[in-house]
Amino acid sequence: MLSGGRVDEVVPRVIEYRDRLWAVKPRPSTEIAFSIAAGVVLAEEAQRMAALEGATAAANLQAVQAIIEAQQAAMIACMVAVSVTTTVAATS
């Protein structure tokens, strides 16, 4: 994992956040809840790594930042696609 976190530690955290998101209203879709949960865990790992020194930590932080930015772009594209599809369906 780019963040340096172990899978057996990170996955339960992602699932916990996902489940907490499902408990709120409006309830996000499965994909969005998982994506947000994974982003939160990545952000937590980035904060943890920020305390570390050295070039490796800096490179890993940049990689995590790139992943988060890509994830944000994908979410925006998904939201635009849903909006366009809804608009087309409503006007047909």
Q: What is the pLDDT along the chain (92 residues), one digit of tens a residue?
A: 455 667 778 888 889 988 998 888 888 888 888 888 888 888 888 777 766 666 676 777 778 888 888 788 788 887 888 777 778 778 77
Rounded to a whole number of angstroms, the distance between the first and last alpha carbons of the chain is 46
Q: Is residue 84 part of a domain?
A: yes
Q: Is residue 42 part of a domain?
A: yes
- Domain containing 40 equals 7-91
Q: Is residue 48 part of a domain?
A: yes
- Give me the number of domains the chain comprises: 1
Q: Is residue 2 part of a domain?
A: no
Q: Is residue 61 part of a domain?
A: yes
